[in-house]
Amino acid sequence: MVTPSDTIGGPAAGARRGPGPVASPAMALATSDIVEITQLYAAYNLAVDDGDGEAFSACFVADGALVPGGDPIAGHAALAEFARSVPTGLPGIRHISSNVHVGGDGDEATGRCYLMVVIAGAQPQVLMTGRYRDALRRVDGGWRFVRRDFDPDR
């Protein structure tokens, strides 16, 4: 019988009990990987809110893409241009991610989170909400987005 501790981080996570061969579970992400990916989510939000195109595009692999519910914005140059335009068009914008959930193994991961975009001020206004679904890859020792798909709430 498999118990919750066997499948949710328990000592035998991914293994089955009983006689017979046991397949080796895939190497799950280390805590340090999860922390680094969570920091990537924050760096992405801060860079786009500040209009820091170089820092924003550095959150992606070279051919990475943001798909904001329409045509993809792909490659470092296009991503940087996009980020530089955001606070100019929407002064006081703040991207707030919550419920960040990541998983994966080795150098590949997936993530998802909720997003709330607000315009800061004495009476903040919620501009939009939605969800990100992400593909990530470890490149040159650091985690980067390969693709971020944004699905706005309707």
pLDDT (tens digit per residue) in 80-135? 999 999 999 999 999 999 999 999 999 999 999 999 999 999 999 999 999 999 99
Who wins on pLDDT, 16 or 30? 30
Q: How far is CA 51 from CA 30, 54, 55, 58, 59, in A?
A: 32, 9, 9, 13, 13
Check whether domain 28-152 has CATH 1.10.287.610, yes or no: no
**Which residue's structure tokens are 């799950």?**
28
- d(Cα 120, Cα 38) in Å, to the nearest integer? 23
Using the predicted structure, report yes or no on whether residue 23 has a pLDDT greater than 70. Answer: no
Residue type, 143: W
Give CA–CA dist 124/39, Å, rounded.
25
Is the pLDDT reported for residue 72 higher than 80? yes
> Does residue 142 or residue 12 have the better pLDDT?
142
Spans of all domains in the chain = 28-152
Q: What is the mean pLDDT of residues 10-33?
A: 58
28 vs 75, more confident = 75
Q: What is the mean pLDDT of the chain?
A: 87
Q: What are phi and psi of 20, to 5 degrees?
A: 105, 170
Average pLDDT (39-63) is 98
